[in-house]
Chains A and B, each alone.
Chain A
Amino acid sequence: MSELKQLYQEVILDHNKQPRNCYVMDCANKSADGHNPLCGDTVKVYLRIEDGVIEEISFQGAGCAICTASTSLMTESVTGKNVEEAKNLFDEFHHMLTGVADEQGVELGKLQVFEGVREYPVRVKCATLAWHTLNAAMEGEDEADPVTTE
């Protein structure tokens, strides 16, 4: 049960129940669809990037608690960051989930609550779907093909 509590921390349960920045953004200038073919979960990430800075980010969709909470917390973490900072944060986040040692010293802050996911390898993709989608949105044209976790 303790490992489970480590996975389903209060912050995660809270963001799952009341996800932040969960709306369709009419004034988005970038967006992308993400899809986890293993479970059928989908997420759409909207961005308003101005001068290389993420001024506004929102999402629709998601799925399990890990996926939904990760998407919600991601939107909070990258707001106000520039594209490069957001990418570095994803790298660091991914390293934490896959157990690779911290090399860059990027502060994960609240995202640290997903540390427990490392013990559940099949759930890592749940936590990273939103980030892959964010990456695709930042890099791609507005109507890019859906990105997948595979």
Chain B
Amino acid sequence: MASPVATATRTGLDVEQIRADFPALHQEAHGRPLVYLDNAATTQKPRQVIDTVTHFYEHDCANVHRGVHLLSQRATVAYESARTTIKAHLGAADSREIVFTRGTTEAINLVAQSFVRPRIEPGDEILITGMEHHSNIVPWQMLCEATGAELKVVPITDEGELELDRYAELLSHRTKIVGVVHVSNALGTVNPVKEMIELAHAKGIPVLVDGAQAVPHGAVDVRDLDCDFYAFSGHKAYGPTGIGALYGKREHLLEMVPYQGGGDMILSVTFDETLYAEPPHRFEAGTPNIEGAIGLAAALEYLEALGADAVTAHETELLDAATKRALDIPGVRLIGAARRRAGALSFVMDGVHPHDIGTILDTEGVAIRAGHHCAQPVMQRFNISATVRASFGVYNTTNEVDRLIEALAKVKEIFG
């Protein structure tokens, strides 16, 4: 079933062995071996993650933080160990700086409601960029609407990079937070977040980084970045859906009040007064996604074992090859030609709508995403309604790049 790829690439990943870890890759789509290039939407899961989740349900299933019995203790240990794994993966100093969330979206909403809301006044500003996913736009719009604050946006260049001069100008004494995407899901652009954080901090402005598309593709070190908050999702990094995490500097988390109340986030409750638990549990109201947290830790351990640099090198090789070959096709135009890109190749083809390309590629067994990628302002910036996005993961091969290019030739055949 597996295509004959070089098992050890120049970049050092044994891709054939990696592929063997992912059961879902070994199937046909419309009669052709599946080529899964929709990793920016969600990744497939390795056996190690699936087995970890299964093992939890078969052996350790219990609620966390509240039972004295054996299974509850095992579940609690597994859940809290997962937090430690995430801490280590992000380079954080303290496990208490990791809050489990449903994903990036919930993490950003938590920062908007619990950190920014209490300190924002009418006329204050929230600064985001023109290449944000809707998840890093809408929570801020809602906050602005509720508080009378104003949303400011850093523009994008024609190449799909941020206008850093404008960014520096837009940082003002009214800016209460900067929200910036580490790697753009629609363009693949890798933003110079470290430099941006430095500029913001020079004016005393905290920064939230949306790392949903960064964590799967390479090393992230929150202490090196010195970001105030870092949000990411498990399912884009080979983990389960419905789980993600927020890294927040301890000093910030300590001063934040929860915006969701319930069980597991309190020290004591009376009808007169409730004392909140310490962070991070303060922000994890209700029974958490236990198997998700454990599965996410297994996914990050899997990535660790491959090595972040090897992952980056492998995916960069695929992205570069796909970009070069796609551009050889007449009428193909890259959307986002930033100097530093990761993960995703976004393009349009003259005279053919991305949805039609998506359907034709699908019948060739090639799964890509066609659409606005939940980043409609990016589409508006480039005067298009949608792009074709091929996004790569650790298990993709150069053969699959060939399949993508061959399928694009079929599009030409039909549409002329």
Contact = CB atoms under 8 A, between A and B. Distances in A.
Which of the listed residues B353, B360, B363, B376 has the most CB atoms from chain A within 10 Å of its own CB? B353
A64 B379 contact: no
B356 A64 contact: yes
B360 A65 contact: no
Which of the listed residues B351, B356, B379, B386 has the most CB atoms from chain A within 10 Å of its own CB? B356
A1 B406 CA distance: 14
Interface in B363-416: 363, 370-372, 376, 379, 385-386, 410, 414-416
A4 B414 contact: yes
A142 to B, nearest CB: 25
B356 A40 contact: no
A123 interface: yes
Chain A's interface size range is: 20 to 34
Given A39-B386, A40-B371, A123 B379 contact: no
B371 A65 contact: no
B359 A120 contact: yes
Contact of A40 (B351, B376, B410): B376
A41 interface: yes
Contacts of B353: 63-65, 67-68
B277 interface: no
Contacts, number: 54
Contacts of B370: 39
Contact of B385 (A4, A17, A63, A120): A63
B379 A8 contact: no
A78 interface: no
Nearest to B360: A4
B332 to A, nearest CB: 17
A38 B385 contact: no
B28 to A, nearest CB: 15
A3 interface: yes
B340 to A, nearest CB: 27
Contact of A39 (B363, B372, B415): B372
Contact of A13 (B355, B376, B385, B415): B415
A126 B256 CA distance: 46
B352 interface: yes
Given A40-B376, A40-B386, A64 B355 contact: yes
A126 B414 contact: no
B359 A123 contact: yes
Interface of B: 351-356, 359-360, 363, 370-372, 376, 379, 385-386, 410, 414-416
27 contacts: A1-B410, A3-B363, A4-B363, A5-B414, A8-B414, A13-B415, A13-B416, A17-B351, A38-B371, A39-B355, A39-B371, A39-B385, A40-B371, A40-B376, A40-B379, A41-B355, A41-B385, A42-B385, A63-B353, A63-B386, A64-B353, A64-B355, A65-B415, A66-B355, A67-B353, A68-B353, A120-B359
